[in-house]
Amino acid sequence: MSAEARIGAGGLAALFAIGAIGGLVGDMCHVQSGTTVYLEDPLPYVWDSQLWFPIMVGGGTAALGWIGGLLGARASAAEREEPLRAAATMIASVLALYALTAIVRGEPGSVGIVLCWAVAALICARFARDRADWICAALAMLFGVGTEIVLSAAGVFEYADDIEQILGVAAWLPALYLAYGVVASRLGALLTTR
Amino acid sequence: MSAEARIGAGGLAALFAIGAIGGLVGDMCHVQSGTTVYLEDPLPYVWDSQLWFPIMVGGGTAALGWIGGLLGARASAAEREEPLRAAATMIASVLALYALTAIVRGEPGSVGIVLCWAVAALICARFARDRADWICAALAMLFGVGTEIVLSAAGVFEYADDIEQILGVAAWLPALYLAYGVVASRLGALLTTR
Amino acid sequence: MSAEARIGAGGLAALFAIGAIGGLVGDMCHVQSGTTVYLEDPLPYVWDSQLWFPIMVGGGTAALGWIGGLLGARASAAEREEPLRAAATMIASVLALYALTAIVRGEPGSVGIVLCWAVAALICARFARDRADWICAALAMLFGVGTEIVLSAAGVFEYADDIEQILGVAAWLPALYLAYGVVASRLGALLTTR
């Protein structure tokens, strides 16, 4: 009988921290480029973000990593051998895509959409290994984009007028969440002990 | 005696479709960024492109894939094991480069040229495996750039004035065709049955 | 007793040439985008650079490659099998990052910093193999950034006012030198004969 596979409390805390800090760095890019604007600020700002944002991304990262491990995402031999290199590569890839979504503001909408979706496809094709990774990508996209649609409709924040939008959020947003979901699942796999 | 290596009609149709759709997506980036303008429109537009453009790119992709297979391009073990992942990675790479050539409009010419040629070199170095891939890259560059030089000289379309040009086409254009040729050959190798 | 590991005069000359030419290409991007301006030109210009710049980068590349080999950087089996592919990939990566640092001028400082540091992390995580590579990255950063801080303070050249700066140099500069240092060490490993 195999030992139970699980992520410990330390692993979940690490996932929360990675997501929260990564979210703050990426959101700073969006706010400073004018891609997004907070319209209501009931909570204190952390860096350029309302406090709920890093908590949401951190919590989402921990949840996705936990779900990925639960659904069978397991670190490959190469990932187990050099976990820090694997984690750094995946985190840097998503942060680069995050910054790219801010850079394409001011470009024609279609160009930004093609570039961001193509880079997201490269990230997914590079890192996704298990069926669980794709499920986490779909979950991240559904809940992430869904939450932003609701918050945008509620007037909590908005995307700039000059950005190509679908239901109030940027047309490249699903691509960013897909890549993020795959990486959260893989980070969960890296932290799952057996 | 080994069985004959060939791409079937279905494979050629797939290559045509990939090239035609990819060409439409990339050309949309060029047209909407003002990188290129159609000066004559004798044929109907498909999306933002004159009908001849997707037919040319689709036909070129099928031809290059067929030539690559004929000249001995064969899928590696890794490519045969996960053909969809390999194909998605290669197609997304070329589309990302295509979008990049549109993004660099407005930047100083030299910067766009260095970035696009460097990314094209990364794509070629990553995916080219057989001598046939390099032959296809050279063919794609010669015929692709040559055709665009003729059509530009004939006043069918033109590159924007503010783009660094060689004989009427953008200085980064050969790099885009080189990367495209390598990928067309590799896609042909993936679809070649033995 | 193992044979002595060393880079021959030809290898050092190759490293110098790669560094000098790469430095000229990258500096052209910085000068033409207005990222940097030479304020004093006691020496003749080569392309867009004062003569001391390519000599400094070429000499630095040879020195770092020599130090990397001395400290034990050795080509992996894959690198030895296809040294040209490995070298082209690494050189193109650093040139792409160099061009990217010029492209991000005009973007909000934070966005450019996140994108350049993320891409530099990807380059380091992809290519660094031996402890010597990380030592060379640190040396390149210390001496490269240090030299630029001194020359900027001395009024020899300057970064544009609209670029986020630390001690007179761009905030993304350490990232560029880190990636450069890793690649110089790996190129040294490729050229070290045993």
What DSSP string runs through A162-187?
TS-EETTEETTHHHHHHHHHHHHHHH
The alpha-carbon gap from B102 to the nearest alpha carbon of chain A, in Å, equals 7
Q: Touching check for A178 and chain B: CB below 8 Å?
A: no
The alpha-carbon gap from A71 to the nearest alpha carbon of chain B, in Å, equals 21
Buried b (16+ CB within 10 A) or exposed e, A149-180: eebbeeebbbbeeebebeeebbbbbbbbbbbb
Check whether B55 has a pLDDT greater than 70: yes
Measure the CA–CA gap between C87 and C16, rounded to whole angstroms: 14
Q: CA of B108: which chain C residue's CA is closest?
A: C33
Q: Which residues contact B150 (CB under 8 A, 6 or more apart)?
A: none
pLDDT of residue C108: 92
Q: Name every chain B residue with its beta carbon within 8 A of the beta carbon of C27.
A: none
pLDDT of residue A45: 97
For residue B150, what are its two tokens?
């003729």
Terminal Cα distance for chain B, rounded: 12
ipTM computed for the complex: 0.96
Q: Name every chain A residue with its beta carbon within 8 A of the beta carbon of C108.
A: 29, 32-33, 102
Check whether B2 has a pLDDT greater than 60: no
Measure the CA–CA gap between C165 and C145, rounded to whole angstroms: 12
Q: Touching check for A89 and chain C: CB below 8 Å?
A: yes
pLDDT digits (tens, 9 = 90+) for C163-173: 999 999 999 99
User: What pLDDT band is residue C194 in, cutting at 50, 70 and 90?
Assistant: low
> In the predicted model, what is the mean pLDDT of residues C68-87?
95
Least Cα distance to C133 among C59, C64, C48 occurs for C64
Across all residues in chain B, what is the average pLDDT? 95
| Contact at CB, C115 and A99, closer than 8 angstroms | yes
Q: Touching check for A182 and chain B: CB below 8 Å?
A: no
pLDDT by residue for chain A (194 residues), tens digit each? 344 668 999 999 999 999 999 999 999 999 999 999 999 999 999 999 999 999 999 999 999 999 999 999 999 999 999 999 999 999 999 999 999 999 999 899 999 999 999 999 999 999 999 999 999 999 999 999 999 999 999 999 999 999 999 999 999 999 999 999 999 999 999 999 86
Q: Name every chain C residue with its beta carbon within 8 A of the beta carbon of B108.
A: 29, 32-33, 102
The alpha-carbon gap from A139 to the nearest alpha carbon of chain B, in Å, equals 21
- Write the burial class of residue B161 (CB in 10 Å: 0-12 exposed, 13-18 middle, 19+ buried): exposed
Dihedral angle of Cα B40, B43, B44, B49, to the nearest 10 degrees: -60
pLDDT of residue B1: 35
pLDDT digits (tens, 9 = 90+) for C96-145: 999 999 999 989 999 999 999 999 999 999 999 999 999 999 999 999 99
Check whether B4 has a pLDDT greater than 70: no
Nearest to A33 among C108, C125, C126 (CB): C108
pLDDT digits (tens, 9 = 90+) for B93-131: 999 999 999 999 989 999 999 999 999 999 999 999 999
Measure the CA–CA gap between A140 and A138, rounded to whole angstroms: 5
Q: How far is CA B28 from CA A108, A113, B50, B152, C150, in A?
A: 10, 11, 11, 18, 47
Q: Touching check for B145 and chain C: CB below 8 Å?
A: no
* SS3 (DSSP) at C84: helix
Q: How far is CA C111 from CA A38, A95, A178, A179, C164, in A?
A: 18, 10, 21, 19, 10
User: What pLDDT band is residue B6 in, cutting at 50, 70 and 90?
Assistant: confident
Least Cα distance to B136 among B29, B64, B75 occurs for B64
Q: With contact defined as beta carbons under 8 Å apart, do C61 and C7 qualify?
A: no
Check whether C2 has a pLDDT greater than 90: no
Q: Name every chain B residue with its beta carbon within 8 A of the beta carbon of C88.
A: 121, 125
The DSSP output letter for B33 is T
| Contact at CB, A103 and C122, closer than 8 angstroms | no
Q: With contact defined as beta carbons under 8 Å apart, do A118 and B92 qualify?
A: yes
pTM: 0.96
Q: Name every chain C residue with its beta carbon within 8 A of the beta carbon of B114.
A: 25-26, 28-29, 95-96, 98-99
Q: Touching check for B26 and chain A: CB below 8 Å?
A: yes
Q: Which chains touch B (3 or more CB pairs under 8 A)?
A: A, C
pLDDT of residue C4: 63
- Token pair 């195999």 is found at A2
Q: Touching check for B111 and chain C: CB below 8 Å?
A: yes
